[in-house]
C-alpha cells in the first residue's frame, strides 16, 4: 500500500488530495479544499500565488498531522500562466491571470510585428487563444512590465510552486506545451519564437518530462509542515494533461471531454496533427504522457454557469438582510441539482448562444453579457434562472456537437465512446443530452480526473504502475462509470 499527495489547482478552486494505491486499486481522500479567487487591481487580474502557497502548506501540515505516510507530492494547475522570479530568487509579484484583458488585440499585433500567424501555428500546432503564454509575454513587453524586465526566471504555475517548495526550477513538458512556445517537433521551446520575444531559453529552466523527481521539500517547508525531505515529482503539471491521462479508456477509439471551468474536447493521437485544416478549425496539439499528443479544442465550459451562479448568490445576499436566511436560500435555490432540474423543465433550444464568443471571456456581469448577446443576435432573452441554465446547457451541447463532428474528421481511428471526466461529468442531464446530440455512447467519470492523473503519474515515477494504459486500467478498476446511450 502506498500513499501519494496531489496538489490540484483549478481556476476557481484548489484541493490537496491523498491517493492510496493498494492491490491494483486507487482510493482518494480530499484533505483540504480552498477557493482561488482572482484579484482585481490597477486594471489587472492577478492570481494570489502567496495565498496558494499558504494553502499548500496547510495541506502538507494536515498530511503530517494525520500521520499519512506519503511517498511523494505532485502539483498540477491550469495552463498558460506563469510567475516571474528575480535575481535573488524572490517572486516578482503575483502572476497576471489569463482572463486579464492585457492581451486583447495582442495576437494580431504579434503576427504583424514579430512572426506571421501561419508560421506560429506551423512551429507550435497550438490553437490561437489570446491568453497563450506567447501573447501574454508579448503583451507584457509591449506594456513595459517591470517584472518582466527584471525576471531571471519565468516559470509556469506548477513549476513556480514546485520552485517555491523545493528551490529547484524546471520547465515541465506538458504545461510548457500549452504555452504556444514549445515546438512538438523538437520537444523543446522554439528558438525562433523565443528570439521573436527577446527572451533567453535558460530563463525557463531545463525541460523536465512528466514523472521525474524535481527535488525535495526545502528545510523551511519541512519545518513549517512537520514533513520530512519528501520528493516532489514533476507530474503532468498541466491539469488537462493529468485529466486525459486518467481517462479510463480500454483502447484508442475514444474521444474525451474534460469538463470543468473549461470543456476540453479532443482525441489522443500518437503524433501531432498540424495542417491547414487543423489551423482553420483552430485545434491544439498539446504534449501528453508517454509521447502522446492531446489533439483538442478549448470550449468555454462551466465558466458561464459558474459566473451566473456567483451573481445569483450576490443577488440573494443583497435581497436578504438576515444572513442566516440568505445562506439557507442560497443552499436551496442555488443547489446544482435544483438548478439543473428546473432548467430541464424549460423548453429546449429556445435560446442558443456561442459559449466561445469573446463577450463571455471575462465580462463584468455574465447575466448582462448573455442579455446583450441575445439582443444582438435576435434570440429570446432568458429571464429566469431556469431559462438561463437551460440556455447554457443547450448552447454547450450544440458546441460539443460541432467540435465532435470535426474530431471525427481528423481522427485516424473511429470514435466509439466519449469519456466525460471532471466535475462536469456529474451533470447527468448534460451527459444524456450530449450522447443524444452527438449520437455516441457517453461514459461519465471519474469526477476527480486531474487528481487521479496526478497521483498515477507519481505512482508511475515510483515504479508502482507501468505505462499510461496500466494507469488507465487501475483507474477503471477503481471507479464506477455511468453509461449513457444515445436516444434518437
Footprint of ligand LRH (CB under 6 A): 10-11, 78-80, 98, 178, 238-240, 262, 264, 298
Evaluate whether 370 touches 388 at the Cβ level (below 8 Å): yes
Return all residues near 113 (Cβ < 8 A) that are at least 6 apart.
Answer: none
- What backbone phi and psi angles, to 5 degrees, belong to 311? -70, -40
Active site residue 277: no
- Least distance (Å) between residue 175 CB and ligand LRH: 8
Q: Which is nearer to ligand LRH, 216 or 292 (CB)?
A: 292
Give the span between the Cα atoms of 203 and 206, in whole angstroms: 9
Give the helix ranges, DSSP H, for 238-302: 239-245, 276-280
Between the alpha carbon of residue 349 and those of residues 309, 342, 358, 420, the distances in Å are: 21, 15, 21, 22
CA 469 to chain centroid: 22
Between the alpha carbon of residue 254 and those of residues 45, 250, 423, the distances in Å are: 37, 9, 19
Q: Residue 375: left (phi > 0), alpha (psi -120 to 50), or beta?
A: alpha
Return all residues near 174 (Cβ < 8 A) that are at least 6 apart.
Answer: 210, 236, 237, 238, 241, 242, 286, 287, 288, 289
- Least distance (Å) between residue 429 CB and ligand LRH: 23
Q: Which is nearer to ligand LRH, 3 or 263 (CB)?
A: 263
Q: Which is nearer to ligand LRH, 173 or 484 (CB)?
A: 173
- Least distance (Å) between residue 487 CB and ligand LRH: 30
Q: Residue 58: left (phi > 0), alpha (psi -120 to 50), or beta?
A: alpha
Q: Which is nearer to ligand LRH, 246 or 264 (CB)?
A: 264
Q: Which is nearer to ligand LRH, 124 or 387 (CB)?
A: 124
CA angle 477, 483, 488 (to 5 degrees): 160
Give the span between the Cα atoms of 79 and 64, in whole angstroms: 29
- Least distance (Å) between residue 262 CB and ligand LRH: 4
Sort strands 207-208 and 212-216 into parallel, antiparallel or unpaired.
unpaired
- Least distance (Å) between residue 399 CB and ligand LRH: 16
Q: Which of 76, 81, 100, 239 is catalytic?
A: 239
- Least distance (Å) between residue 98 CB and ligand LRH: 5
- Least distance (Å) between residue 108 CB and ligand LRH: 20
Evaluate whether 34 touches 4 at the Cβ level (below 8 Å): no
Q: Which is nearer to ligand LRH, 21 or 455 (CB)?
A: 455
Q: Which is nearer to ligand LRH, 241 or 308 (CB)?
A: 241
Report the catalytic residues: 239
Amino acid at each position: 500500500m502506498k500513499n501519494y499527495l496531489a496538489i490540484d489547482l483549478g481556476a476557481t478552486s484548489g484541493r490537496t488530495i491523498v491517493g492510496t494505491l493498494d492491490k491494483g486499486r486507487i482510493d482518494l481522500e480530499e484533505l483540504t479544499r480552498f477557493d482561488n479567487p482572482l484579484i482585481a487591481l490597477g486594471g489587472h487580474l492577478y492570481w494570489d500565488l502567496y495565498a496558494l502557497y499558504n494553502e499548500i502548506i496547510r495541506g502538507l501540515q494536515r498530511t503530517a498531522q494525520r500521520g499519512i505516510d506519503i511517498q511523494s507530492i505532485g502539483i498540477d494547475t491550469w495552463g498558460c500562466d506563469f510567475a516571474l522570479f528575480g535575481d535573488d530568487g524572490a517572486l516578482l509579484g503575483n502572476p497576471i491571470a489569463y482572463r486579464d484583458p492585457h492581451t486583447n488585440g495582442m495576437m494580431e499585433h504579434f503576427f504583424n510585428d514579430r512572426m506571421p500567424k501561419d508560421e506560429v501555428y506551423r512551429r507550435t500546432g497550438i490553437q490561437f487563444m489570446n491568453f497563450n503564454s506567447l501573447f501574454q509575454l508579448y503583451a507584457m513587453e509591449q506594456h513595459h512590465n517591470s517584472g518582466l524586465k527584471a525576471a531571471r526566471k519565468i516559470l509556469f504555475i506548477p513549476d513556480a510552486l514546485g520552485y517555491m517548495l523545493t528551490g529547484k526550477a524546471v520547465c515541465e513538458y506538458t504545461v510548457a506545451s500549452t504555452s504556444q512556445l514549445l515546438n512538438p517537433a523538437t520537444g523543446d521551446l522554439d528558438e525562433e519564437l523565443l528570439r521573436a520575444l527577446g527572451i533567453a531559453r535558460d530563463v525557463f529552466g531545463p525541460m523536465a518530462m512528466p514523472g521525474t523527481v524535481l527535488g525535495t521539500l526545502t528545510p523551511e517547508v519541512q519545518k513549517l509542515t512537520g514533513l520530512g525531505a519528501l520528493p516532489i515529482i514533476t507530474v503532468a503539471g498541466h491539469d488537462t494533461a493529468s485529466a486525459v491521462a486518467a481517462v479510463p479508456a480500454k483502447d484508442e477509439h475514444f474521444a474525451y471531454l474534460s469538463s470543468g471551468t473549461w470543456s476540453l474536447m479532443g482525441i489522443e493521437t500518437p503524433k501531432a496533427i498540424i495542417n491547414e485544416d487543423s489551423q482553420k478549425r483552430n485545434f491544439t496539439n498539446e504534449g501528453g504522457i508517454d509521447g502522446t499528443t492531446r489533439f483538442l479544442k478549448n470550449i468555454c465550459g462551466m465558466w458561464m454557469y459558474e459566473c451566473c451562479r456567483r451573481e445569483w448568490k450576490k443577488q440573494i445576499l443583497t435581497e436578504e438582510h438576515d444572513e442566516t436566511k440568505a445562506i439557507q436560500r442560497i443552499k436551496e435555490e442555488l443547489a446544482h441539482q435544483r438548478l439543473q432540474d428546473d432548467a430541464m423543465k424549460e423548453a429546449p433550444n429556445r435560446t442558443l448562444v456561442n459559449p466561445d464568443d469573446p463577450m463571455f471571456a471575462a465580462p463584468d456581469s455574465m447575466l448582462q453579457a448573455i442579455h446583450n448577446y441575445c439582443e444582438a443576435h435576435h434570440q429570446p432573452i432568458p429571464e429566469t434562472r431556469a431559462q438561463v441554465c437551460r440556455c447554457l446547457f443547450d448552447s454547450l451541447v450544440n458546441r460539443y456537437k460541432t467540435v465532435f463532428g470535426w474530431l471525427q474528421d481528423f481522427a485516424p481511428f473511429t470514435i466509439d465512446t466519449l469519456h466525460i471526466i471532471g466535475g462536469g461529468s456529474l451533470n447527468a442531464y448534460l451527459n444524456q443530452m450530449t450522447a443524444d446530440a452527438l449520437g455516441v455512447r457517453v461514459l461519465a467519470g471519474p469526477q476527480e480526473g486531474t487528481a487521479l492523473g496526478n497521483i498515477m503519474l507519481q505512482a508511475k515515477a515510483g515504479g508502482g504502475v507501468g505505462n499510461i494504459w496500466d494507469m488507465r486500467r487501475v483507474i477503471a478498476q477503481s471507479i464506477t462509470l455511468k453509461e449513457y446511450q444515445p436516444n434518437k
